[in-house]
Amino acid sequence: MVEIAAGIEPVEDGRIHIEKINVPFLYAHKAKGSEFRTGLAFAVERSWLELHESGTYVRLKTASGS
């Protein structure tokens, strides 16, 4: 999931719309919705992604944690 996010050009303010990650994760990688939710929660827990409270976009965290 983080690799997918890293390959997407963010829009304003570093935002990556969640569907830009969701579609390749579910279709190209043939994952399930539950796997997407679990992967997203794991990436947020590890501070690799920052999920906006609306759930509509994420931001890729840098190695420095910003």
Nearest to 39 by CA among 28, 57, 25: 25
Q: Is the residue at 46 inside a domain?
A: yes
Q: Is the residue at 16 inside a domain?
A: yes
Number of domains in the chain: 1
- Compute the distance between CA of residue 41 and CA of residue 47 in angstroms, rounded to an integer: 10
What's the pTM value of the predicted model, to 2 decimals? 0.84
Q: Is the residue at 56 inside a domain?
A: yes
Q: What is the pLDDT of residue 17?
A: 96
Tens of pLDDT, residue by residue over 8-60, are 999 989 999 999 999 999 999 999 999 999 999 999 999 999 999 999 999 99
Residue 64: pLDDT over 50: no
Q: Is the residue at 12 inside a domain?
A: yes
Q: Is the residue at 66 inside a domain?
A: no
* CB within 8 Å of 26: residues ≥ 6 apart: 32, 33, 36
Q: What is the pLDDT of residue 63?
A: 55
Domain extent, residue 53, equals 2-60
Q: Is the residue at 11 inside a domain?
A: yes
Q: Is the residue at 65 inside a domain?
A: no
